[in-house]
């Protein structure tokens, strides 16, 4: 297969192509095919952008219909029919049934733009520059969100200091430390030296740090802490949202309402670029045009986005995910754990991590390669990349799910 | 027409919809239609994202074909056929004929992501934190690019300091000041107090500041200044690139080669989200994955992007633009200037500004409204928004171009 | 007494005069006298600047002799006889006997200037911008040292962000958290989000946070942690140095050697302004004049400073302090603690804190006033100023020490 | 002479001792003597700290008397007799006669502490983080004032970014640019990208940049500019104040009243460490203790400071300075300028610069050495240190002044 073009012309920054060194051609739901005709089961799902699978017929048809209708494609933030339909559907079928009242901001169509907008708004509303984020977090790669992001390689790419963020230990890091009480102390102690934040930014299921669904009780205490100190709670639901956790929003299981929510990835339906910031109406102090972006008005993304929401609702994706979660959990517990006492696992819904941090050496790199060879696409996350992330499309057929898990088992056996 | 959904559910940050308060439905080349069936000539062109017009048949067909083929839509930065074809075409038909040797980075698919990546890379390469940008510049809304951006409203949205940028007077601001000599002094004087920059970021045609094509000689001296001081030259060609200035890149007319170029907007063909960073191969010190983004791999954008490039090449858009530039220039000179001695104008290619800054009061706001009423979409830029920006699709039919200009004249007459 | 001048002409920023509202005239060792002839026992000692008492005859005579000799008073950092004698004595009688090898830098003659110089040097040597400091710390009021300082009022005076410092919980704050392991994790975890520091700055006896002598073992582990990670250890010994802790340097008891030490307050002998930065010779990468200050060459301060060192050595102040420490400790334990079960105390050498944080209301404010009325000068520190700080001159006569303690007891009884 | 102690024990940061490599012993008015008995005429005057000469009898006597009286030496910011007398005298004889109404803040006793306090207060009052300073400025070496300082070596010592300052070209740098109009534009233009400052900090006579007395009209326009934009004007009068310019304050000649004034150096009378911040009463929003410093209460400095003020008043130093200024100016014009057409000079009062920037090579370094050899102490300032600074004590005898100038002439002749 011919990859010379990429090697000659594309920047060294390219990344996933190194783990999966082939040229992909077509894809359908959880199956990807390459130029050699080889098929792969996709346990990566576009890092969460493909919750409804590759190229779902329903969404593809909507896109083609819209293209064929002459519907306007690009229109910045002017009013259009697809945007109205998206907003109405989102309000009626997602927000209202959950008792959520948010206004919707369309930032530039990437997750990092949503995080930037959320944090800018929080600082503007509260008049404070500092923000708390959690160790292990990933929130994006532009300067404002990179300041929140924790992995060393990303931070070293900044080439400058990343100010105005205090990183708080994630609750799993020092089990003896009550991290809610810790933050409470930081904001109460007149000698903490830590500036009171405008907001606390949290991924209810922390992904990049190694797949850590945060406890319901901890999330509830976090919400109460923010209330106590007049600090905004921002939920970054970019990776774990859109049904991935078993609910539409990954914070639903805690029964809490964040002040601001960032949404992206699968909100675009089939990998179309789209991002939302959801904000409580009373926080909507933006001046017109104070956060803009050329592609915040791609109508195909809105068309596909609405079709994705319809998929979620009509296929009862949340119910499906909970059912499939049990399949994965049982397989990991009964088939994978027994392979080696050093293996661990964690997860929720259809986002799971198999933890190899107790091993010496770069086990997961070999494992990703073995999976790829055996026809499974899965990537690494976590400290020193020691966790294999399992994140298939939520719509994956049970048979393929089980087949992918079997490949995983076989691959682990090969490398151990 | 029903705009209640937007008013109820969309954030106050929405902007263009306030100048053009209608709901758009379909569009074709330079014509947009709203729900009431009214047609508008588009002199805005998606802020430069629609150089090849709304919904061009050639590109739409490519998109539909790809969607129907089952081609993979989303794949992060894995290797795919559309990406290979895009890169090959871009290299062969855009870069090589211009003697340019760049590697291509795909950041998140918005202009601001491209600027963030460019500036991060410059800082990383040079090991310096400061960057020079020009007063009047617009480079984006995320924290790293917002630090470069100059307009007050945008900056006030940050809620924090925007460090590590020194703003240099644009050459038109203080005609008595040689801005190249000024920057030379800043970098030579051991008491300037201004830290040597990693890069100087310039829009060869400054748009948001009021449509200012920078002189060829000034651009050449800027290039020489960067060489003298070992500073990188970053051309932000997001708005004025893709043929807008009459060449593919807006710096071509100066015969200079920037070290890094940011490209977005019309590179997506028909308003599809896409952005590129072009970097000299020797600057490609990125580590794999050191700047990422979920939607840097939307294949529809690459399909549409390649089709857009084909359009540029095959329709000889550059030649067309130069021809149409003469039409606009002549109209402004002979039909608009005589309307009032306080009116001025500037421009190049198909990006022009009609300057009303010599007037009292908010003339341009009334003018935008009058144009809209009369069926012309055009927006304001510049200091106090005192400049009306004319930026039709490059593919606009001559008749529509003249008709739009006539509406402009009529609208000015109405408001004066 | 007439304080109108101060009220009319001096800024509201004045502080201690509010706790001790009288006009002082003369003072001798541990006794201060005011315009009304009333005497006060000094348990404050110029916040540690008067370890050898007010106006010690030996030092006063040296000053008068020097003034009468025509000796140069001011000379920036030119070479002078008093500076040579100070350096030689400091080397021979302080550094060498303790096995310490440092070069001496004279920054501007205040503690904060010393901290600024120390931290600048650390950043310059290591090429890293971040620095760790501990919650509860006080390191000064200029922007670089204020960033390390933790009390809220001081920080709110900055009017800007205070970047490049990560505050670490002091070991007493969360007993369940091993703070050395915590810092180790911050520097080891590739997802901590905390930038590796150039240095860790520590007061071996943290004063402002509420009088906390840090454990010997903890200090030793801190030293080892710095070695492990190639991070400099900076001991700020401004308040607890010069014999205050029972040794000349407050880190001696731990047997550790910091990389940089800041010294001020009593190094000026009798309250003369002087400050030193001690740095390991291999760290001396300063360029000539890269950190300057007009008054780094006040010869009276050097004359008084040497006389102070002679006092320390010849009067075996360290032995004296340890003896008197036992007196204070016993009194607090047997006479003060029994007064109320909510009272606590901590300390070392002749720096002690009586802790009233378990009380409701502003007990310590009343206590300071009662002490003042009864003829004792003592100030408050700690969280919410809830700790009374006892810090008499090290040379205080035993009788006065006991008398002062008795006044303390009586005053507590009065206010409870 | 023995300098081994310094070479072995003092940090490389030592600076002036390199230009004047001898060990000084005694000094009187404008004469310094070294260990070899050689005498030097002092045209340096402690960088402005010795305006009333070395060891003036009147001040020395006051110091000895106070020391012998048992007067309290150190007392933080408690009320004392010397402080009251200093304040009363300063008010009655300096402020009131000039129609100035200021409150006095005593920061730590160095110039940089005064600048830090001034800028902190300005930011706190105005709620803005940015501050304007001028290229060529020197304001100190701690982080907040170093951000204002412009010389490269000093800035490179910071080891971190120096945020929140915009450097404005000094008026002499680009004669074609109206710098007041430039700043006005920065604050008026909604696309300048430069954040509105809390204050503009100016040395009315810029010293370190090369001795530039700013025009009276320019200073008046600067004052008006600050009024127009609600920006505070901070005059840093540390080097050129205390009579150096021919008035007590160097801004008096312009008839303007700054909002805040920083004073240090000769305010200490005879080189005693002292610094003041003068602030308009309505700006005195400090909370008690919000900017502190241990040595802000050295009574010897206040005693010497008052004696220095008495000297200024009773000896009519301002009249004297103006008389002597004419001597210097005439000598430079008639004796120095004719030596070489490349020589230039500038100055006011008794602060003058002889400019060698038109020469190749390091002429001034040789000149300083030649002067030293010939018995004259003078230092270099300005770009590339190309300006010889002449700054004798204001009390220098006419004969010594002429003798020093003659040595200067002879030394220039030797090196040319």
Residues of A in contact with C149 (CB under 8 A): 193
Looking at residue A168, its pLDDT comes to 98
Question: Are residue B310 and residue B367 in the same domain, yes or no?
Answer: no
Q: What subunits touch chain C, counting only 3 or more CB pairs under 8 A?
A: A, B, D
Exposure string (b/e) for A397-408, b if CB count within 10 Å is 16 or more?
eeebbebbbebb
Return the closest-CA partner of residue C141 out of D115, D59, A325. D115
Nearest CB partner across the interface for A79, out of B6, B64, B300:
B6
Question: Are residue D215 and residue D322 in the same domain, yes or no?
Answer: no
Q: For residue range A305-317, what is the model confidence (pLDDT) as tens digits?
A: 999 999 999 999 9
User: What is the H or E stretch that residue B83 is in?
Assistant: helix B81-89
Q: For residue range D94-151, what is the model confidence (pLDDT) as tens digits?
A: 999 999 999 999 999 999 999 999 999 999 999 999 999 999 999 999 999 999 999 9
Looking at residue C37, its pLDDT comes to 97
Question: Are residue B47 and residue B69 in the same domain, yes or no?
Answer: no
Instruction: Look up residue B39 and give its two tokens.
Output: 């047609």
Question: Are residue B242 and residue B361 in the same domain, yes or no?
Answer: no
Q: For residue range D85-103, what is the model confidence (pLDDT) as tens digits?
A: 999 999 999 999 999 999 9
Return the closest-CA partner of residue A151 out of C226, C195, B78. C195
Given the structure tokens 């500041």, which residue do they identify? B209
Confidence of residue A89 (pLDDT cuts 50, 70, 90): very high
Q: In sequence order, which ranges of B148-231 are alpha helices (DSSP H)?
A: 152-156, 179-188, 216-229
Q: For residue range B335-351, what is the model confidence (pLDDT) as tens digits?
A: 999 999 999 999 999 99
Looking at residue B297, its pLDDT comes to 83
Confidence of residue A2 (pLDDT cuts 50, 70, 90): confident
Looking at residue B2, its pLDDT comes to 86
* pLDDT at position A8 over 90: yes
Residues C278/C103, Cβ–Cβ less than 8 Å: yes
Helix, strand, coil share of chain B (percent; to 5): 45, 20, 40
Nearest CB partner across the interface for C120, out of D27, D71, D159:
D159
Q: What are the angstrom distances between the C-alpha of B277 and each of A155, A168, B112, B280, B317? A: 19, 34, 11, 10, 22
Given the structure tokens 């729900």, which residue do they identify? B35
- CATH at D123: 3.40.640.10
Looking at residue A297, its pLDDT comes to 83
Question: Are residue C197 and residue C232 in the same domain, yes or no?
Answer: yes
> Which residue from C minimizes the CA distance to D290?
C154
Confidence of residue D297 (pLDDT cuts 50, 70, 90): confident
Q: Distance (Å, rounded) from C-alpha B310 to C-alpha A303?
A: 26
Return the closest-CA partner of residue C83 out of D399, B217, D16, B252. D16
Could you tell me how many CB contacts below 8 A there are between chain C and chain D?
Answer: 405
Residues of D in contact with A161 (CB under 8 A): 160-161
Which of C289, C314, C339 is a domain's end point? C314
Confidence of residue A206 (pLDDT cuts 50, 70, 90): very high
Q: Is the pTM here over 0.90, yes or no?
A: yes
Q: Distance (Å, rounded) from C-alpha C110 to C-alpha C126?
A: 25
> What's the number of domains chain D is made of?
2
Residue ranges making up the domain that contains D227: 59-314
Residues C408/C238, Cβ–Cβ less than 8 Å: no
CB contact under 8 A, B287 and A64: no
Could you tell me how many CB contacts below 8 A there are between chain A and chain D?
Answer: 3
Looking at residue A244, its pLDDT comes to 98
Three-state SS string across chain A, please? CCCHHHHHHECCCCCHHHHCCCEEEEEEECEEEECCCCEEEECCHHHHCCCCCECCHHHHHHHHHHHHHCECCECCCCEEHHHHHHHHHHHHHHHHHHCCCCEEECCCCCHHHHHHHHHHHHHHHHCCCCEEEECCCCCCCCHHHHCCCCCHHHHHCCCCCCCCEEEECCCCCCCCCCHHHHHHHHHHCCCCCCCCCCEEEECCEECCCCCEECCHHHHHHHHHHHHHHCCEEEEECCCCCCCCCCCCCCCHHHCCCCCEEEECHHHHCCCCCCCEEEECHHHCCCCCCCCCCHHHHEHHHHHHHHHHHHHHHHCCHHHHHHHHHHHHHHHHHHHHHHHCCCCEEEEECCEEEEECCCCCCCHHHHHHHHHHHHCEECEEECHHHCEEEECCCCCCCHHHHHHHHHHHHHHHHHHC
* pLDDT at position B1 over 80: no
Shortest alpha-carbon distance between residue A178 and chain C (Å): 9
A148 phi and psi angles, rounded to 5 deg? -85, -30
Looking at residue B61, its pLDDT comes to 98
Residue B29 DSSP label: B
Burial class from Cβ neighbours inside 10 Å (0-12, 13-18, 19+) for residue D107 reads: buried
A263 phi and psi angles, rounded to 5 deg? -135, 135
The residues near D389 (Cβ < 8 Å, ≥ 6 apart) are D43, D44, D207, D211, D351, D352, D353, D378, D379, D380, D381
* pLDDT at position B130 over 80: yes
Q: Distance (Å, rounded) from C-alpha A177 to C-alpha A134?
A: 14
Which of A262, A290, A314 is a domain's end point? A314
User: What is the H or E stretch that residue B381 is in?
Assistant: strand B379-381
Exposure string (b/e) for A341-352, b if CB count within 10 Å is 16 or more?
eebbbbbbbbbb
- CATH at D326: 3.90.1150.10
**pLDDT by 10s per residue, chain C, length 416:** 789 999 999 999 999 999 999 999 999 999 999 999 999 999 999 999 999 999 999 999 999 999 999 999 999 999 999 999 999 999 999 999 999 999 999 999 999 999 999 999 999 999 999 999 999 999 999 999 999 999 999 999 999 999 999 999 999 999 999 999 999 999 999 999 999 999 999 999 999 999 999 999 999 999 999 999 999 999 999 999 999 999 999 999 999 999 999 999 999 999 999 999 999 999 999 999 999 999 998 999 999 999 999 999 999 999 999 999 999 999 999 999 999 999 999 999 999 999 999 999 899 999 999 999 999 999 999 999 999 999 999 999 999 999 999 999 999 999 99
Looking at residue A350, its pLDDT comes to 98
Q: Distance (Å, rounded) from C-alpha B125 to C-alpha B145?
A: 18
Return the closest-CA partner of residue C241 out of C29, C395, C49, C45. C49
Nearest CB partner across the interface for C157, out of D25, D120, D140:
D120
Q: For residue range D340-387, what is the model confidence (pLDDT) as tens digits?
A: 999 999 999 999 999 999 999 899 999 999 999 999 999 999 999 999
What's the ipTM?
0.97
Looking at residue B75, its pLDDT comes to 93
Question: Are residue B161 and residue B172 in the same domain, yes or no?
Answer: yes
Q: For residue range A231-254, what is the model confidence (pLDDT) as tens digits?
A: 999 999 999 999 999 999 999 999
Question: Are residue B408 and residue B295 in the same domain, yes or no?
Answer: no
Burial class from Cβ neighbours inside 10 Å (0-12, 13-18, 19+) for residue A321 reads: buried
Looking at residue C297, its pLDDT comes to 83
Confidence of residue B72 (pLDDT cuts 50, 70, 90): very high
Question: Are residue C12 and residue C101 in the same domain, yes or no?
Answer: no
Which of A289, A314, A339 is a domain's end point? A314
A390 phi and psi angles, rounded to 5 deg? -110, 115
Q: What subunits touch chain B, counting only 3 or more CB pairs under 8 A?
A: A, C, D
Shortest alpha-carbon distance between residue C161 and chain B (Å): 8
Residues of C in contact with B161 (CB under 8 A): 160-161
Residues B302/B86, Cβ–Cβ less than 8 Å: yes
CB contact under 8 A, A24 and B110: no
Looking at residue D2, its pLDDT comes to 86
Nearest CB partner across the interface for D129, out of B149, B161, B177:
B161
* pLDDT at position D1 over 90: no
Residues of C with CB under 8 A from a CB of A: 129, 133, 135-137, 148-153, 155, 161-167, 169, 173-174, 176-177, 182, 185, 189-195, 208-210, 382-384
Question: Are residue C80 and residue C157 in the same domain, yes or no?
Answer: yes
**Best of C164, C193, C386 to mutate (most A CBs within 10 Å, chain A):** C193
Question: Are residue C284 and residue C164 in the same domain, yes or no?
Answer: yes
Shortest alpha-carbon distance between residue D235 and chain A (Å): 30
Overall average pLDDT of the B195-219 stretch: 98
Question: Are residue A33 and residue A149 in the same domain, yes or no?
Answer: no
∠ at Cα C400 (C394, C401), nearest 5°?
A: 55
Q: What are the angstrom distances between the C-alpha of B386 and each of A267, A315, B344, C196, C227? A: 38, 52, 11, 48, 61
Q: In sequence order, which ranges of B254-395 are alpha helices (DSSP H)?
A: 299-314, 317-331, 363-374
Residues of A in contact with D161 (CB under 8 A): 160-161
CB contact under 8 A, D70 and C270: no
Residues of C in contact with D163 (CB under 8 A): 160-161, 163
Question: Are residue D192 and residue D143 in the same domain, yes or no?
Answer: yes
Residues D338/D332, Cβ–Cβ less than 8 Å: no
Residues A77/A84, Cβ–Cβ less than 8 Å: no
Nearest CB partner across the interface for D293, out of C11, C110, C156:
C110
Task: Find the helix packing angle between B179-188 and B216-229, rounded to 10°.
Answer: 10
Residues D293/D113, Cβ–Cβ less than 8 Å: yes
Residues of D in contact with C161 (CB under 8 A): 129, 163
Percent of chain D with pLDDT over 70: 100
Residues of D in contact with B141 (CB under 8 A): none
């Amino acid at each position: 297969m011919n990859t010379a073009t990429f090697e000659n012309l594309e920047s060294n920054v390219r990344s996933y192509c190194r783990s999966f060194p082939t040229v992909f051609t077509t894809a359908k739901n959880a199956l990807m095919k390459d130029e050699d005709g080889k098929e792969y089961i996709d346990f990566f799902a576009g890092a969460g952008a493909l919750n409804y699978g590759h190229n779902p017929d329903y969404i593809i048809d909507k896109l083609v219909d819209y293209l064929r209708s002459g519907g306007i494609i690009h229109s910045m933030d002017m009013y259009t029919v697809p945007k109205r339909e998206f907003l109405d559907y989102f309000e009626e079928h997602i927000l209202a049934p959950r008792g959520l009242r948010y206004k919707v901001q369309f930032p530039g169509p990437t997750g990092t733009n949503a995080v930037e907008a959320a944090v800018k708004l929080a600082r503007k509303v509260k008049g404070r520059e500092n923000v708390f984020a959690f160790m292990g977090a990933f929130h994006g790669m532009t300067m404002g969100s990179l300041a929140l992001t924790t992995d060393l390689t990303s931070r070293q790419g900044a080439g400058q200091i990343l100010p105005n963020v205090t990183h708080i230990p994630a609750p799993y890091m020092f089990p003896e430390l009550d991290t809610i009480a810790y933050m409470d102390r930081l904001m109460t102690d007149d000698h903490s030296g830590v500036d009171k934040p405008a907001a606390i930014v949290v991924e209810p299921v922390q992904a990049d740090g190694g797949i850590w669904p945060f406890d319901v009780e901890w999330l509830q205490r976090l919400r109460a802490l923010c209330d106590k100190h007049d600090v905004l709670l921002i939920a970054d639901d970019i990776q774990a949202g859109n049904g991935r956790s078993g609910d539409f929003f990954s914070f639903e299981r805690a029964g809490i309402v964040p002040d601001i929510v960032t949404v992206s990835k699968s909100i675009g339906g089939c990998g179309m670029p789209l991002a939302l910031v959801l904000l409580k109406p009373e926080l909507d102090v933006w001046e017109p045009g104070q956060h803009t972006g050329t592609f915040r008005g791609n109508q195909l993304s809105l068309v596909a986005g609405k079709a994705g929401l319809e998929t979620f609702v009509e296929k009862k994706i949340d119910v499906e995910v909970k059912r499939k979660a049990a399949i994965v959990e049982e397989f990991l517990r009964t088939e994978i754990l027994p392979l080696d006492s050093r293996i661990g696992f964690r997860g929720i819904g259809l986002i799971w991590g198999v933890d190899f941090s107790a091993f010496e050496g770069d086990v997961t790199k070999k494992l990703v390669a073995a999976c790829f060879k055996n026809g499974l696409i899965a990537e690494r996350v976590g400290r020193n990349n020691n966790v294999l992330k399992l994140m298939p499309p939520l719509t994956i057929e049970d048979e393929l799910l089980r087949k992918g898990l079997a490949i995983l088992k076989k691959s682990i056996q090969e490398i151990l």
